[in-house]
Amino acid sequence: MKNKKRIVIIGATSAIAEHCARLWTERENVDLTLVGRDGTRIERVAADLRVRNSQSIVRTMSTRFDEPAAIQAAADSIVAAGAVDVVLIAHGSLPDQKVCESDLAACQNALEINAVSPVLFAEAFAGHMAKANQGTLIIIGSVAGDRGRKSNYVYGAAKGLVTRYAQGLQHRFAGTDIRVVLIKPGPTDTPMTAQLKSQGAKLASVEDVAMRIVKAADTGRAVAYVPGKWQLIMLVIKHLPSRIFNKLNI
């Protein structure tokens, strides 16, 4: 009998992660491990997934996201039960840029949760994938990482770090059976972007973004802008001359 695909989701209570989990469990029976900081919230997500597919295995784990030892221990514990096929690293938060400018503790926290923590989780699982020479590692970055802008440059800097890290990881695993997929969502309709929505921003649906992430995981493509229009938008923004870019209120 074919073993169930083993999928791990880090930051499983995020809206995007939860919808990806639903897609995976709806299309096949999987062995799913949900990892988060709040055990009660993770259990609520797990209960919903078990109802959607009673034949899937849904496990939960709560851990610290800001301690290297805890991150490594979590990865080691999960892999000890068997090789992992897919790891989705989906956690993060959208900081208030103005607060980051005046509060260095808030700035530090934004950089740690959006850059350092995802990288440490990725590196912990990458080590295990290297030993097994298999697996797909999906890291959610952001279009904000493509060029620093005054409206969100702390968040953008964090996601820029994630982008460079993912590129290096892709180079490390070139020629192997390990795939590293960098997802670059545009603004998405989730609780994290509620303030943007209240200001009238046009946001992509979380269902559409999740569908595109799962599709990118299936194909193993190196970089996926979701929705795809953001690849062209950011191409233009990245190549604007400074004399023009600096006049824009973005």
**Residue 125 binned pLDDT confidence (cut-offs 50, 70, 90):** very high
Q: What percent of the chain has pLDDT over 90?
A: 92
Which runs of E-coded beta strand occur in the chain? 5-10, 30-36, 57-62, 86-89, 135-140, 178-185, 223-226
**So what's the pLDDT on residue 1?**
43
Length of the chain: 250
pLDDT (average), residues 171-191: 94
Mean pLDDT along residues 219-242: 96
Identity of the amino acid at 228: G
Mean pLDDT of the 182-193 span: 88
**Average model confidence (pLDDT) across the chain:** 95
With bands split at pLDDT 50, 70 and 90, how would you rate the model's confidence at 155? very high
Average pLDDT over residues 58-83: 97
Mean pLDDT of 120-131: 98
Which of helix, strand or coil describes residue 88?
strand
Full set of structural domains in the chain with CATH: 5-245 (3.40.50.720)
Say which DSSP state 114 is in. Answer: I
What's the pTM value of the predicted model, to 2 decimals?
0.94
The model's pLDDT over 190-229, given as tens digits with 9 standing for 90+, comes to 877 777 767 767 889 999 999 999 999 999 999 999 999 9
C-alpha closest to that of 86 among 143, 132, 51, 38: 132
pLDDT at residue 38 is higher than 60? yes
What is the model's pLDDT at position 190?
84
Tell me the pLDDT tens digit for each residue of 97-116: 999 999 999 999 999 999 99
Give the per-residue pLDDT at 2.
56
> Which of 7, 17, 10, 9 has the alpha carbon at shortest distance from 190?
17
Instruction: Report the side by side order of strands in the sheet with 223-226.
Output: 57-62, 30-36, 5-10, 86-89, 135-140, 178-185, 223-226
